[in-house]
Structure 1
Amino acid sequence: MSGLNPCESFSKFDTSKIVAFSEMYPNDFSNGERGCLLGDLTVFYHTVKVDDKFKNLGGITDLARAMVETGTHKTFPLVYRVLKLALVLPVATATVERCFSKMKLIKTDLRNRMGDEFLNNALLCAVEKESFLKVKEEDVMARFQAFKNRRGNIF
């Protein structure tokens, strides 16, 4: 991802790193696309290096924004796809890390025989805590009350 850095007039722009990055994702790039990517990166580098709209960019987020504003995301779709993948990757990784961290807290040695459905439901409650805080207790009680006639009311 560091090869995509546009800082200091693309001084850290490295086509070999970017191609190696695309090779880590074979489902997103076919062999033919990876072959075209090297040529596209070279042309892209020489195009944006002389364009004033691509000067003084702070990072790859600014590069993506500048590509969309100038329309170069349509001219260089493979470069833009690599850029989008590099932007999404930290978010996706953080979400997975957070889920595994919550699972480590929920599934302890004492709860090791927990079934998949119960574990999934418990993880959903732990990971999506903000969503569950919006649910009213009265709504939950009314739903359980509607399952089956009880001797007394929960309310």
Structure 2
Amino acid sequence: MRLIAIGKGGAGPERELLARYAKRIRPELTLTELPDGTGSAAEIKRREAEAILAALKPDEFVIALDMGGAEPDSPALARLLAGWLERSKKLAFVIGGAEGLDAAVLARAGAKLSLGKLTWPHMLVRPMLAEQIYRAQMILAGHPYHRAGRP
């Protein structure tokens, strides 16, 4: 399972948190970082799209993080993850840059996922996504990590 993300994340708590959850995910979530594009907004999206599309493998099922994507709760994400894994054992989650993902990347995606309507810094989205993938796997395994009830 891969996470392909625009931008280089330096050392810090966000990277440490991503690493913590990435190691718990099976198969382990690996990170591929691609450089930010340059130029106008349209040029940035185009250049980042070229880099993302070049990084994707033909047999990967792509899940694009996009504001217009599905906004499941954690149990629904677990069901989506199970379905995606039935389609392909090779999943690639894609996080675009500040300008978002180009239409060419969205067209390549087999699914679109949103973490909600709030705007999040890209470096925080990485560990948040990793935690949700881990949580989904724990839900599917029947592990008590996810507490569905409210106190």
Both proteins in one fold, TM over 0.5: no
Kindly indicate which of the two structures has a greater share of residues assigned to helix. 1
More strand by share: 2
TM-score under structure 1 normalisation? Answer: 0.24
When normalised by structure 2's length, the TM-score is 0.25
